[in-house]
Amino acid sequence: MRTWHAVVVILLCLAAQAAAQDAAERPAVRFEAVDVYVDSGAQPLAAYQFELTAKKAKVAIVGVEGGEHPAFKEAPYYDPAALSRDRIIIAAFNTGRDLPTGRTRVARVHFQVSGLEEPAYAVTLNVAASSEGARIPATAAVEQGGKR
């Protein structure tokens, strides 16, 4: 009878260990924000379009916010179907006179990240334009924001 109890205890310990290992292997889920900046130098920025990608990790885009300057405070344009993917094309324009110059945050993109891999975010600026519709030289950059 004692052998039977020992076998049961061993099986229970093995089952508990397997359950703990399965829990440790399940992907963690977290949320993080990525800020996208456009630097137009001395030129006023009236319009932009960029592509943002996330590689090396399983991500889903869960939201898009506008920027810090009043000209781009409203959420920019994007394809809502892109929210379930790891890439998104975002664009905005403003025909007003109060336009940003220099480096300004134009959007904040929220991601749900699953698993232990850290995403590698990259932005490609497709176009930046003046209020006259002329292309202007500009650069884009991303900064990873807070994790939640």
In sequence order, what are the residues at sequence separation of 6 or more whose Cβ sits closer than 8 angstroms to the Cβ of residue 37?
Answer: 103, 104, 105, 106, 140, 141, 142, 143
Domain that holds residue 120: 27-147
Per-residue tokens: 21? 């290992």
DSSP state of 68: S
Residue 126 in any domain: the answer is yes
When pLDDT is cut at 50, 70 and 90, the band that residue 23 belongs to is: very low
In 3D space, the residue among 111, 114, 118, 129 whose CA is nearest the CA of residue 50 turns out to be 129
List the CATH number of the domain containing 135.
Answer: 2.60.40.680
Residue 14 in any domain: the answer is no
pLDDT tens digits for 96-142?
Answer: 999 999 999 999 999 999 988 889 999 999 999 999 999 999 999 99
Domain count, the chain: 1
Give the separation between CA 7 and CA 50, rounded to whole angstroms: 62
pTM of the predicted model as reported, rounded to 2 decimal places: 0.78
Residue 137 in any domain: the answer is yes
Instruction: Give pLDDT, residue 85.
Output: 76
Residue 6 in any domain: the answer is no
Contact criterion met (CB below 8 Å) for 82 and 88: yes
Helices (H), the chain: 2-25
Contact criterion met (CB below 8 Å) for 99 and 46: yes
When pLDDT is cut at 50, 70 and 90, the band that residue 22 belongs to is: very low
Residue 83 in any domain: the answer is yes
Residue 115 in any domain: the answer is yes
